[in-house]
Amino acid sequence: MHQQSTSTPRGGLRANAYVDAFNLYHGALKHRPACKWLDLRALCSRLLPAPFELDQLHYFTSRLGHSDGDPGQPQRQDTYLRALKGANFPFYYTKGRFQTKTLRLPLAGSGELAQVRQVQEKGSDVNLAVRLVSDACDHKMDAALVVTDDFDQEGALRVVGQECGITVVVASPRCRSNLARAAGADFTKMIHGDLLRECQLPDMVADLEGHEVFRPSAWTDASENGEAAPKDGLLSSSRSS
């Protein structure tokens, strides 16, 4: 499929979005700090072809633990989730988990073994596929926008499009069309840096309790330009109204 597809939608206006947060982060956001304060509802609305309008927004991620290299990661994630839940309401968040293993693996080019720590995200891809297929079978939308490059979703995408008759839109964080073509998607959308920059939350938003939530200082134009951010990488995450 091509980004400028002329396919006729199967009808209706309702669209649900399903965002693989881990895939989106590593595919489009990791090296763009100034884009991490992302307004997901704005982004998904921009990615949908006419005549579809965004109804439900589903976000699949795992909670980060403390990292020796970046101890502020968990707090920034908490700040962002609070902002998303307030600014993107209604917002559906499904939590996976990270699994850490210690393995002994051979070094490249030699038979010498080294002890390494392997961290893997578990559950988010399965949670996304199950929710996507369940919603399609229950006819909860006329189009499904899936934000991922993960080929683990190919089977679910095929079921949704070919067996449930739902219009499938695959949005690629890495600007690739491989998954959309393999799954027979109706539309392929690319998530370019310009689009990410245009779909940012305001620097201050209110969470569900009405408290102010501020963009972390590590997620600014200055940090993207290589300037030093404050040591903790954060502004105050909330203030009582």
pLDDT in tens, 10-40: 444 899 999 999 999 999 999 999 999 999 9
Which residue stretches of the chain are H helix? 21-24, 40-47, 73-87, 124-137, 154-158, 178-183, 193-198, 221-224
Q: What is the pLDDT of residue 1?
A: 42
- Checking if the pLDDT of 97 tops 50, the result is no
pLDDT tier, 65 (very low <50, low <70, confident <90, very high otherwise): low
Measuring CA to CA, which residue among 217, 210, 219, 208 is closest to residue 236? 217
The residues, ordered by sequence, that sit 6+ positions from 181 with a Cβ below 8 Å of its Cβ are 1, 188
pLDDT tier, 100 (very low <50, low <70, confident <90, very high otherwise): low
The residues, ordered by sequence, that sit 6+ positions from 226 with a Cβ below 8 Å of its Cβ are none
Q: What is the pLDDT of residue 239?
A: 31
**Most distant CA pair in the chain, distance:** 61
**How far is 103 from 118, CA to CA, in rounded Å?**
7
**How far is 44 from 222, CA to CA, in rounded Å?**
26
pLDDT tier, 227 (very low <50, low <70, confident <90, very high otherwise): very low
One-letter identity of residue 172: S
* Architecture of the domain spanning 14-224: 3-Layer(aba) Sandwich (3.40)
pLDDT tier, 136 (very low <50, low <70, confident <90, very high otherwise): very high
- Better-scored residue on pLDDT, 8 or 92: 92
Where is mean pLDDT largest: 55-59, 89-93, 123-127? 55-59
The residues, ordered by sequence, that sit 6+ positions from 6 with a Cβ below 8 Å of its Cβ are none
| Mean predicted lDDT score pLDDT of the chain | 82
- Better-scored residue on pLDDT, 187 or 66: 187
* pLDDT digits 0-9 by tens, 180-208: 999 999 999 999 999 999 999 999 999 99
Beta bridge partners of 190: 172
Percent of the chain with pLDDT over 90: 65
* pLDDT digits 0-9 by tens, 161-181: 999 999 999 999 999 999 999
In Å, how far are 185, 188, 228, 239 from 5, measured between CA atoms?
10, 8, 43, 46
